[in-house]
Amino acid sequence: MPVVYDRRAATYDWRWARYIAATAEETLHRLALDGSERRLLDVGCGTGTFLQRVAITHPTLQGVGVDMSLAMLKRARAKLGESAWLVCARAEGLPFRKDMFDRIVAISVPHEWRDPGMIFQGMRSLLAPSGRLILTDWCAEDPRVILKVLFLKAIRDPAFFRAYRTGRYQHLIAEAGYEMIRIDRYGAAGWGMMTAIARVASRARGSIKLTKFLSVG
């Protein structure tokens, strides 16, 4: 997978410009920040467009981006300067400490993951008690997505695994130890999208296994 995005990095921003801008804005509107938040983690940050928007609209919020492609991260660094921390890592092994983030965001990447439930569970311990998980991705109930998924399967695109219906998505999130706040469906740049917003379930807060994570600053 890193090789796929290393190859796509040079053309990624212009090829997907409308889609990236639209999904970044839709996600930004759903962060529900009150000014007390300190850190936000963008998992699968790509070339850093969402973190760039966060730096402009919420300059006191420390953005942290994770991606498995060094080529994508190099482009993100050129775009972001020193306004965000960037880390090369997989979503399956996020190298951060417990309760480090007030918001964790993943935009247009859960459809690439073989086991999203496991990744959602790993993110849970990184969220502060009052933190939120915000997941923006394709909605498999939307006809626009159904056609595109059929095409991606036909060409065996290595960057696609599965698109989810809202009910299945909610089930995966709940199984990972979250309480669903809401899930929104909408169109963006010709795609049928959904954004799920959740918080750590009260019953899970006392049962999170303490794990040692590396700090990035």
Has residue 163 been placed in a domain?
yes
Does 15 reside within a domain? Answer: yes
| pLDDT value for 207 | 43
CATH number at residue 156: 3.40.50.150
Which of 111, 128, 129 lies closest to 41 in space, CA to CA?
A: 128
DSSP 114: S
**Is 16 part of a structural domain of the chain?**
yes
- Domain count along the chain: 1
What's the confidence (pLDDT) of residue 204? Answer: 57
Other beta carbons within 10 angstroms of residue 143's beta carbon come to 8
Is residue 215 in some structural domain? no
CA angle, residues 88, 104, 28, in degrees to nearest 5 = 110
Phi, psi values for residue 99, rounded to 5°: 60, 25
- C-alpha span between 44 and 65 (Å, rounded): 7
Residue 59 lies in a domain: yes
- pLDDT, tens digit (0-9, with 9 covering 90-100), for 145-172: 999 989 888 989 888 889 999 999 999 9
CB neighbour list of residue 60: distance below 8 Å, 6 or more residues apart: 35
Residue 47 contacts residue 13 (beta carbons within 8 Å): yes
Give a yes or no: residue 115 inside a domain. Answer: yes
Q: Look up residue 93 and give its DSSP letter.
A: G
Report whether 135 contacts 196 (CB < 8 A): yes
Q: Tell me the pLDDT band of 1, cut-offs 50, 70 and 90.
A: low
Instruction: Give mean pLDDT, residues 56-84.
Output: 96
Residue 179 has pLDDT above 50, yes or no: yes
Per-residue pLDDT of 91-138, as tens digits, reads 999 999 999 999 999 999 999 999 999 999 999 999 999 999 999 999
